[in-house]
Amino acid sequence: MENIIYNHLDYSILSWTVFLPVLGALFLLLVQGRAVIRWISLLFTLATFVISLPLLTHFDKGTHAMQFVERHDWIPSWGINYFIGIDGISILFITLTTVLSVLCVLVSWMAIENKVKEFHIAILTMEAGMLGVFVALDFFLFYIFWEAMLIPMFLLIGVWGGQNRVYAAIKFFLYTLIGSLLMLVGIVVLYYTGGRTLDILALSSLDYPFKLQCWLFLAFFAAFAVKVPMFPVHTWLPDAHTEAPTAGSVILAGVLIKMGAYGFLRFSMPMFPAATKFFTGPVLILSVIAIIYGALVCFAQKDFKRLIAYSSVSHMGFVTLGLFAFNTQGVEGGILQMVNHGIITGALFLMIGIIYERTHTRVIADYGGFAKLVPWYAGLFIVLTFASIGLPGTNGFIGEFLIIFGALKARMLYGVLAATGIILGAGYMLWLYQRIFFQDANPDYEVSGHHPVSDLTAREVVLLLPLFVFVFWIGFYPNTLLDYMHASVEHLIQRVNVTEMAGSGKMIANYLTEIF
């Protein structure tokens, strides 16, 4: 079967989806007035979402081939092309990105009062960069989008962040930049060993020597592990989340950290299958450590936002565990959980931002008795709490179920250990809910029977509603998303499982000798 399909839709629909936010950012340079800027930003994010919908409705779910492909010569002398397309994996993240971008504009409507134009330009360019990563099929183009994302996110944290925003922004930038530079070395090596081409599909179809695969796997792993983030290169994430504005945290949790796991799927596994198999054990161990460590650290957090940030370390550990199980249940569960985490954690950060606008504190001990003060807020927050801990009927359940099932099928011990992370997750999330909503009320929020904390507004309910719809829609009918990825996941697993690594100590020693 061919690896490329030129769909009958408008040939440039994918380019319009990627670059319409850039057009919006350029348009913002020409206008003045905070209200006008906000409405234009909302208009362009909504238009991007609407334009992306035909990608879902016209997508052929029966093939793993790239669809809606656009290819043009760019720098022919270097073998560089403008080459984009999507498959059953990347299409899900296109939709997730366009939905969350709209919500980021809405949640910032009243929260951002300083440098409003610059803020919305950063949001729009950030959206374009994220979309570009998911559609790029040329390494040069991919790397431009991959690095371009750093600038607006650095600004979102460093300009509109909290008290320690400069420290958090620089830490985020250095961690991701160092990993990206190592990946660049790997891309250059691939260029010269793969026939002087940067075509990702062509390079993915070649068979590289095992020694070269291992070194290239490690080079790419440096970039993707930081982006996930995997233990022990995760320390930038809590700082970035804590200091970022609400929109920055939503983008960071909802999309940005998914790009590391997406990199494993798009590059590491199909290009370096033997090395992927060889390093599976260490990756699974790091995943289990992240699951348990991230959950335990949550119990020690005093900051509302920082607790959810550390929970992301634990949840992304589940994702990498499922991906490296190399069976249908694990890989599909990992991909589904990437989307689910973007929905649940994105909604949690939105909820934190909403209550922070009222209280101006994220210290958990400052809260208490909020079940009476803001009952609608408390009711919606418990739904997200249940989704985060994987209650049946919510999207979090089906993702974690498939991952644990796949892990048990691949490595029984790792599956059992990972399951303890679900128990710990229930512990810290329910404890968090108890402290905020049911412990003794903070007298600062009760003055002569009147409190200054108001419940959710109509704008905030509209803002949150789409994510709650997805929580239950995916929870009750996960095939809505799973159908898109079946063919692509099956093809990927076949590619990886072509090389079966022997497990004997002698064979492992021989491989280590060959590498070093």
Query: What phi and psi values does residue 81 have, to the nearest 5 degrees?
Result: -130, 155
Could you report how far apart the first and last alpha carbons of the chain are, in Å? 38
Q: Which of 289-293, 486-490, 499-503 has the lowest mean pLDDT?
A: 499-503
Nearest-angstrom CA–CA distance, 238 and 253: 11
Residue 516 reports pLDDT greater than 70: no
**Average pLDDT over every residue of 246-269:** 90
DSSP β-bridge partners for residue 70: 84
**Above 80 in pLDDT, residue 1?**
no
Give strand pairing partners of 303: 363
Percentage of the chain lying above the pLDDT 70 cut: 92
Which phi and psi (to 5°) does residue 67 adopt?
-125, 165
What residues contact 384, with CB distance under 8 A and at least 6 apart? 344, 347, 348, 351, 471
How does pLDDT run across 228-244, given as a tens digit for each residue?
Answer: 888 888 888 888 888 88
Sign of CA dihedral 433, 434, 437, 443: negative
What's the distance, CA 378 to chain centroid? 26
In this predicted structure, the answer to whether residue 56 has a pLDDT above a threshold of 50 is yes
Give one word for 8, left, alpha or beta, with left for phi > 0 and alpha for psi -120 to 50.
Answer: alpha
CA distance 401 to 506: 36
Amino acid at 281: G
What is the residue extent of each domain of the chain?
A: 279-516
C-alpha distances (whole Å) from 177 to each of 173, 214, 317, 511 are 6, 22, 22, 31
Q: Average pLDDT, stretch 163-177?
A: 89
Token pair belonging to 158: 């460093």
Q: What is the per-residue pLDDT across 464-480, written as a single tens digit (0 to 9) for each?
A: 999 999 999 999 999 99
Q: Which long-range contacts (CB under 8 A, 24 or more apart) does 383-387 make?
A: 383/468, 383/471, 384/344, 384/347, 384/348, 384/351, 384/471, 385/429, 385/430, 385/432, 385/433, 387/340, 387/344, 387/471, 387/475
Q: Are 278 and 214 in contact (CB under 8 A)?
A: yes
- What phi and psi values does residue 196 have, to the nearest 5 degrees? 55, 50
Per-residue pLDDT of 426-435, as tens digits, reads 999 999 999 9
- Rounded distance, CA 402 to CA 188, Å? 37
419-468 tens-digit pLDDT: 999 999 999 999 999 999 888 766 666 543 445 678 888 888 888 999 99
- The structure's pTM equals 0.89
pLDDT, position 5: 61
Residue length of the chain: 516
Compute the distance between CA of residue 100 and CA of residue 502 in angstroms, rounded to an integer. Answer: 44
* pLDDT the model gives residue 444: 64
287 contacts 317 by C-beta, under 8 angstroms: yes
pLDDT at 126 over 80: yes
Compute the distance between CA of residue 165 and CA of residue 15 in angstroms, rounded to an integer: 34
For 343-354, what is the HEC assignment?
HHHHHHHHHHHH
State the SS3 of 72-120: EEEEHHHCEEEEEEECCCHHHHHHHHHHHHHHHHHHCCCCCCCCHHHHH
Q: Which residues of 399-420 are buried (b: 16+ CB within 10 A; e: fewer)?
A: bbbbbbbbbbebbeebbebbee
Contact assessment for residue 68 and residue 14, using Cβ atoms and an 8 Å cutoff: yes
Round to whole Å and give the CA distance between 159 and 172. Answer: 14
pLDDT for the residue 47: 95
Q: For residue 33, is pLDDT > 50?
A: yes
- Of the candidates 227, 237, 360, the one whose C-alpha atom is nearest the C-alpha of residue 298 is 237
User: Are 21 and 101 spatial neighbours (Cβ–Cβ below 8 Å)?
Assistant: yes
Distance CA 501, CA 491 (A): 19
* Averaged pLDDT score across all residues of the chain: 87
